[in-house]
Structure 1
Amino acid sequence: MKQQILTLAAGLMAASAMHAAEPFLVAHRGASHDAPENTVPSYELAWKQGADAIEGDFHLTKDGKIICIHDYDTARVCGTKLVVKDSTLAELQALDAGAWFKPEFKGTKLSTLREVAATVPAGKKIYVEVKIGPEIIPTMLEDLKASGLKDEQIVIISFQADVIAEMKKVKPAYKACWLASFEKESPLKPSKDEVLATLRKIKADGFSSKADERLDPEFVKAIRDGGFEYHCWTVDDAATARRFLDFGALSITTNRPEFLRKALGEAH
């Protein structure tokens, strides 16, 4: 009887721990609702807000360094337009990437991959979105190795199937997910058959999509039944997040990790 009670207690503790770990929230470009996207302050705030992982966008500079920025030029977040691939790291980091967001972030610089990775605590993850082609991979592998992060803390994501295929070829230990948003026309394009065919071809670990309202449980079930993970982005409201979690999404990417976790707790 005593052993049964201990076993039951252990099971309840495990279930409680599992529940506490859900949902898995990824901070989109950091806590980008509250700090300038893709900057160290945004990532540091994401960790303070209880994010399970951070997500960032990465490009190669003219001098072969990896910098964290979404767009292909700096106009939107720096006010001055420099084309990332045609500019050196020093030129890019001389710009102000925080003043556009709020005055208190004036002087914030664009960050390198190494600087972003250095913010990741033990047990947390980084989702590295590759915004260009496979040419970034050798330098990316060097930077990630230098970060000291464990393989299981790193997830590579990209809209470009050839990036995922190459990453799985040269570093299969990293999880890698193919990204896609759906065209506005119905039915969904890419279709679930097209998604599955691509995932198999590039040996991806999973599929991550925009939280499109046309997606249904059958679509996600087909992905998961195919042996692949499913993730979604970018969700800032509890109703949508809960819907996709119920579909089987393993992570929800959000601009507001603290707000969304609290809202999900209240809605559950």
Structure 2
Amino acid sequence: MKKTSLAVILSGMAILPINAQDPMIVAHRGASQDAPENTLLAFRLAWKQGADAIEGDFHLSKDGVLVCIHDAKTNKLADRDLVVAESTLSELRVLDVGAGFGADFKGAMIPTIAEVLATVPPGKTIYVEIKCGPEAIPILMKELEQSGLPAQHVVVISFNEVVIRTLKVAAPGLKAYWLRSFKTDRFGKATPSLESVLHTLHESEADGLSSNVKIPEVYIHALKQAGFEWHVWTVNDSGTAKRMKALGARSITTDVPGRMRSSLAP
């Protein structure tokens, strides 16, 4: 991607149009307000609620299987505290990650990436968040090939820019977004800086940035001027969603895809 200096980007922002197209609705760990996160139950419910895409978190097990779970340990969801990277798939599969959500979900298991990919209907999309490191990319490539999902319906996301760079080297045709949260101090100064964000996006060859809602508006304009997409997470109220849409978010990740679909309807 051709690099554009920050000065040039900032000088052009005054005439940059706002893109208020309808954003994709991405189900955060599935319909995670209504079902246990990162389970097949949550993903299937997300599709029923009209999500355009699902987002799932993936770690590598000890025996090299990509499994869908957010944390590096299992104690948040199950009654046993296992380290995912130090546990085999068979050890992880005996855990009940649904009972804590409610009796109706008792028996839900940690799914593999193959099982999650198999839920994706024709024309829908999956956002694969790699929570470990670049060692997951060769395994991910194999699973994607075996799934038969079209490349245009797969997006890889990560907070780790090395993961994004490794993915783009292995599969430059796949979309990849760098994840970054923002915060503002009491003087109104945002971190990280715009310069560092643009530098990381260029160096990793990411297609765009996916951020929390605290990203400064000037950053959004600068990203677009530099040719990057902008996506946002995690939005559960209609007022914020409408504001993110007005700012030009290409997708909105939410725990409540059904409600978000209704709130953004014309």
**TM-score, scaled relative to structure 1:** 0.89
* Counterpart residue number, 1:201: 203
* Counterpart residue number, 2:13: none
> Does the Cα contact within 8 Å between 1:221 and 1:248 map onto a contact in 2?
no
Residue ranges of structure 1 left out of the alignment (5+ in a row): 1-18
Shift of 1:184: 5.1
What SS is found at the alignment partner of 2:98?
A: coil
- Alpha-carbon distance between aligned partners in 1 of 2:168 and 2:263, rounded to the nearest angstrom: 36
Residue 248 (1) aligns with residue 245 (2): no
Stretch of structure 1 that moved more, 220-229 or 178-187: 178-187
- Alpha-carbon distance between aligned partners in 1 of 2:26 and 2:197, rounded to the nearest angstrom: 22
Residue 220 (1) aligns with residue 232 (2): no
What SS is found at the alignment partner of 2:73?
A: coil
For 1:48-63, list aligned pairs within 5 A. 48-63=48-63
What SS is found at the alignment partner of 1:111?
A: coil
Aligned length: 245
What SS is found at the alignment partner of 1:227?
A: coil
Shift of 1:151: 0.4
Shift of 1:192: 1.7
Shift of 1:22: 2.4
- Alpha-carbon distance between aligned partners in 2 of 1:23 and 1:135, rounded to the nearest angstrom: 32
Amino acid at match of 1:138: P
Amino acid at match of 1:199: L
For 1:103-122, list aligned pairs within 5 A. 103-122=103-122
- Alpha-carbon distance between aligned partners in 1 of 2:151 and 2:260, rounded to the nearest angstrom: 28
Deviations along 1:224-250, one digit per CA (max 9) or x if unpaired, are 110000000000001111111111110
Deviations along 1:133-165, one digit per CA (max 9) or x if unpaired, are 101111111111111100001000000000001
- Alpha-carbon distance between aligned partners in 2 of 1:188 and 1:178, rounded to the nearest angstrom: 18
Residue 239 (1) aligns with residue 239 (2): yes
Residue 87 (1) aligns with residue 87 (2): yes
* Counterpart residue number, 2:42: 42
Residue 136 (1) aligns with residue 136 (2): yes
> Does the Cα contact within 8 Å between 1:56 and 1:129 map onto a contact in 2?
yes
> Does the Cα contact within 8 Å between 1:33 and 1:256 map onto a contact in 2?
yes
> Does the Cα contact within 8 Å between 2:26 and 2:55 map onto a contact in 1?
yes
Moved over 6 A (4+): none
- Percent identity over the alignment is 50
- Alpha-carbon distance between aligned partners in 2 of 1:243 and 1:193, rounded to the nearest angstrom: 25
> Does the Cα contact within 8 Å between 1:74 and 1:84 map onto a contact in 2?
yes
* Partner residue of 2:190 out of 188, 191, 202: 188
Larger radius of gyration: 1
- Alpha-carbon distance between aligned partners in 2 of 1:217 and 1:184, rounded to the nearest angstrom: 12
- Alpha-carbon distance between aligned partners in 2 of 1:238 and 1:86, rounded to the nearest angstrom: 41
- Alpha-carbon distance between aligned partners in 2 of 1:76 and 1:262, rounded to the nearest angstrom: 31
Deviations along 1:5-51, one digit per CA (max 9) or x if unpaired, are xxxxxxxxxxxxxx9x8231000000000000000010000000000
* Structure number with higher helix proportion: 1
Residue ranges of structure 2 left out of the alignment (5+ in a row): 1-19
Amino acid at match of 2:79: G
- Alpha-carbon distance between aligned partners in 1 of 2:220 and 2:23, rounded to the nearest angstrom: 17
* Counterpart residue number, 1:100: 100
* Counterpart residue number, 1:24: 24
> Does the Cα contact within 8 Å between 1:23 and 1:261 map onto a contact in 2?
no
- CA-based RMSD of the aligned residues comes to 1.3
